[in-house]
A and B are shown apart, each in its own frame.
Chain A
Amino acid sequence: MSMRILGNVDSFELWDTPRNQAFIDALKAGIPPGSRKWGRDEGKMAWIVAAPYLDTVKQLCQQHFGQMPLVTGQISSVVKAGLYSFELHYLGLPKPRGDGSVSSMGWTEGGWKALFELGVLAAWFGFAVPGESGYTGVDQSSHYATLGVSRTADEAAVKSAYRRAARTYHPDVNKEPDAAAAFIAVKKAYDTLSDPGQRARYDMALVYAGSSATQPKARREMGDFSWRPPVRCGRLSVEAAKVMGVYQLKRIVGWQDITNELGQTMVTYWPKGADHFEVRWL
C-alpha cells in the first residue's frame, strides 16, 4: 500500500507508513512533540503533523521507505501569528531536535501546548548573541544566561533575577535531581555579577573566551544543551502561531509570576521518576 498525505488547514495526516522504528525515531527527533502526534481516525492510526514540517516528513519517507507519499488536499504551511495570553505551569528543559533546532515544551491549558524555540527564550531572557540566531548564537553557559538577564542589566535587575532563579532552584523547594547544582550556579552567577569589579573581569573574560575558536565549537561538538530556564512557570503574553492546538511561540511579550490569593508565588519542578510536575506556593 502506498503512503499518502491528507492535508488539513494547519496540519496533515500521514497514512499507511510501514512499521519502521528508525523512521519513527527520526520523526520524533526531527519534529517537536507539540507538532506531531500519533492519532486515531475512524479506527485507524496515522501521524498528524503540523503543516510547517511537510518537507521534513517527505524527506523522511524518501529516506526510510524510498518513496514520496502521495499528497492530497490543501496544506497551508503559513500560519498567521497572533497575540495570546496563557498560564504556563511548567517549562521543560531545552532539547535538541533532529532538524538542528533546540526547543522546550511548555505545559499549559492541560497539556504540552506551548513550543519555545531556544532563540525565543534567549531573546526574552536577554542572552541571545546580537546578530546571530538559533542555538549556536546563544551563549548558554554564561552567568547572564543562568540568571536570565542581558549583558547590560543593572544591579537591580540582576538582584531581581537572582531572587527569581534562587526561588526556582532552592534545594529545599525544588526536588529535581540536579537542583542543588543549579542553585550553586545561580549563586555563583549572582556573586560575580553583583560585584562591579568581578563583573568587569568576567565581561573581559567573556570577550576573549568568546573570541577563541576552542570554546563554542567544543560545546557544539559535545552537544551541550545544559541551559536551564531561570523560571519554569508564569503568566505569559506571547506572539505565537497556534498549530494543532499548540502555541508555537515567535516572541514572548510579557512574563509575570503566578500568584494566589494569599500573595504566594507559584514554583514548579519535576521530581525524578514522577509522571507530572509538582507545584509549590512560596
Chain B
Amino acid sequence: MNNLVKTADGSLLDTAQRNGLTLVDVMMNARVMVLVDTSSSMKEDDAPGGKTRIDAAEEELRQIQRNYPGQVAVVSFSSRVEFCPGGVPTRQFDFTDVAAALEFALPADKAGVRVVLISDGQPDSETQAFGMAHRYKHSIDTVYCGGERDFGGREFLAELARRTGGVFGSGAAPGLLAAPVTLLLGGK
C-alpha cells in the first residue's frame, strides 16, 4: 500500500494495486472523469444530515467507485487542479478555477471519457469556463451541490451543461452525484 496517497476502494489506484496492473493500464479503461470542486465554499455544512458539501460529495464518490471499480477517475480543483488516482479529492479550500479544471480534463474528453463536474458553482471566471467548454468534443455533465438559494451557482452549472449538450443534475439530497454517474456508467 502506498502510505502517501489516500485510497478509496475501487479507485484507479486501488484497482491497479489489487490486480497487479499499472495506473496507466487502469486509466485506459476509465469511463468517467469526475471533477470535484474543493473550493472554500465546499466547507458549507448545508448538505443532508448537516454534512459539509465536500463530505457529502466524497462519500458519494466512494460509493460510486466501490460499485464501479477502476472506471471513475477523480480530479480535485480549487486554485489548482490535481489528479487523484486514490479516488479521494484533495481538499484545498481556496478559489474555484473551473476553467483550469476543464482544461485539465480536455485529454480525457478527446479520448472519449465522459466528464462530470460537481460544484456549487460561482467559478472565478464564467467567461473562461465557457470558453474552455467550447473546446470540448463531447458533452459536459454537471452536478450542483450548493445551497438551495444560490441561484447563480445553479444557473452557471445548468448553462455549462446546456451549452455542451450535457445533463444537469441538482439536488441537496443523497444521491446527488450517484444518479448521473450511475446513468453514465450504464447502471440503473
Contact = CB atoms under 8 A, between A and B. Distances in A.
A214 B5 contact: yes
Interface stretch (A125-133, A157-165, A202-210, A271-279): A202-210
A201 to B, nearest CB: 5
Interface string A185-227: 0000000000000101111111111011111011000000000
**Listed residue (B2, B5, B23, B110) with the most chain A CB atoms within 10 angstroms of its CB:** B23
B4 A213 contact: yes
A201 B107 contact: no
Contact of A207 (B25, B85, B107, B112): B107
Nearest to A139: B24
- Interface of chain A: mostly helix, strand, loop or mixed: helix
Interface in B111-164: 111-113
B40 interface: no
Contacts of A142: 24
A136 interface: no
Contacts of B22: 141, 209, 215
B2 A209 contact: no
Given A209-B23, A213-B5, A204 B110 contact: yes
A212 B108 contact: no
Contact of B83 (A200, A202, A203, A208): A208
Contacts of A218: 2
B107 A211 contact: no
Interface in B10-31: 13, 22-25, 27-30
Contacts of A214: 2, 4-5, 13, 23, 85-86
B73 interface: yes
A39 B41 CA distance: 71
Nearest to A205: B27
Given A213-B4, A214-B5, A204 B85 contact: no
A186 B24 CA distance: 16
Contacts, number: 58
Given A209-B85, A213-B4, A213-B5, A202 B24 contact: yes
A97 B15 CA distance: 34
Nearest to A200: B111
Contact of A215 (B23, B28, B29): B23
B4 A209 contact: no
Interface residues of A, number: 20
B88 to A, nearest CB: 12
A169 B30 CA distance: 31
**Listed residue (B13, B24, B108, B110) with the most chain A CB atoms within 10 angstroms of its CB:** B24
B83 A211 contact: yes
**Listed residue (A207, A208, A217) with the most chain B CB atoms within 10 angstroms of its CB:** A208
Contacts of A215: 22-23
A204 B23 CA distance: 12
Contact of B111 (A141, A203, A212, A217): A203
A217 B4 CA distance: 11
A2 B24 CA distance: 55
Nearest to B111: A204
B23 A201 contact: no
Given A201-B111, A212-B85, A215-B23, 11 more contacts: A198-B28, A201-B28, A204-B28, A204-B113, A206-B24, A208-B73, A209-B24, A211-B83, A214-B2, A214-B5, A214-B23
17 contacts: A141-B22, A142-B24, A200-B110, A201-B28, A201-B112, A202-B24, A203-B111, A204-B108, A204-B110, A204-B111, A205-B28, A207-B107, A208-B85, A209-B24, A209-B27, A212-B23, A214-B5
Interface of B: 2, 4-5, 13, 22-25, 27-30, 73, 83, 85-86, 107-108, 110-113
